[in-house]
Amino acid sequence: MKVGLFIPCYIDVLYPQVGIATYTLLKRLKVDIVYPMGQTCCGQPMANSGYEYLACGTNKNFIQQFKEFDKIVAPSGSCVLHIKEHLKGESDLEKNQALHIQNNIYELTEFLTDVVKVENLKASFPHKVGFHQSCHGQRGLHLSGMSELTAPYFSKPEQLLQQVEGIEWVKLDKKDECCGFGGTFCVTEETVSSKMGKDRLADHEKNGAEYITACDMSCLMHLEGIANREKSHVKVIHIAEILNTQNAEQ
């Protein structure tokens, strides 16, 4: 199984350690993974702002970069959901390739639980951690159960975090409230966005978290920006970095 690693643009530029942790972790789990060098962005920033029609360039590029892989994996629920729901090909051939990609793209934690079926990670992270459920992963990709539904609760990221030694789980008041990032929403509606972020951070702080983790670095980037402005002691860390801890210590 040939797997393509998709590292979203903002992770590539601003949070390379998340990409490195993802790659290293997958390698450690014997996944045949390759990072296609010509990749750029999934096109979500344009599409979510109403400019989906401008995303043809990024669509074309994405299809070219990932069409040959059996599976594609990325450390970002939001970007994966965008590809799953909105990747468009132009010619018939491209449309088929897009469909193949959409059926085979995974967010990192669901790839680990559903495809690799990891049961023993041997990672260690002896800290108090609050888990931020990023909306697109949770409600869009169904990475975990949702508080609004009456279905039994499950969580793919938690399934993995439970395998991490020493981690202390922080129970939040609102377990799946949006952080307010929302792509360009964070600038077009900066007042509400930052208020939502402040509230999200406060929930973690109040319940004693040292770290906030999530499957989406974009939510964490927003929360980090607010935490730093408020001189909060709470730090953010992407779930891939926690899951890869043992490897980092070796």
Partner 1 sequence: MRNHASLAEQFNLDENRVDWHNKTLWFVREKRDKQSHQVPDWEKLREIASKIKLNVLSNLDTYLMEFEKNALANGIQIHWAKDAEEHNEIVLSILKDHQVKYMVKSKSMLTEECHLNEYLEKNGIEVTDTDLGERIVQLAKEPPSHVVLPCIHKKKEEIGEIFHKHLNAPEGLSDPQQLTEIARQDLRKKFLQSQAALTGINFAVAETGEFVVCTNEGNADMGTHLANVHIACMGLEKIIPKREHLGIFLRLLARSGTGQSITTYSSHFRKPRAGQDMHIIIVDNGRSEHLGKEKFRNSLKCIRCGACFNTCPVYRRSGGHSYHTAVAGPIGSILNPIRNREDYKDLPFASTLCGSCTNVCPVKIDLHNQLYELRQEIIASGSGESIKGFSMKMMARSLSNIKKYEKFKRTVKWGYRYTPFLLKNKINPWYKHREMPEMPKESFKEWYQKNISDGK
Q: Nearer to partner 1 by C-beta: 23 or 125?
A: 23
Q: Where are the alpha helices (DSSP H) in the chain?
A: 9-14, 16-28, 44-48, 56-66, 77-86, 92-104, 108-110, 135, 156-161, 185-188, 190-206, 217-229, 239-243, 245-249
> Other CB atoms closer than 10 Å to residue 22's CB: what's the count?
28
Q: Nearer to partner 1 by C-beta: 167 or 224?
A: 224
CB of 28 to partner 1, least distance (A): 14
CB of 233 to partner 1, least distance (A): 15
**108/47 Cα distance (integer angstroms):** 22
Q: Nearer to partner 1 by C-beta: 87 or 164?
A: 87
Q: Please name the residue that has the structure tokens 């590539």.
A: 12
Query: What tokens were used for 185?
Result: 């929403």
**116/213 Cα distance (integer angstroms):** 22
CB of 168 to partner 1, least distance (A): 26
Q: Nearer to partner 1 by C-beta: 57 or 208?
A: 57
CB of 120 to partner 1, least distance (A): 26
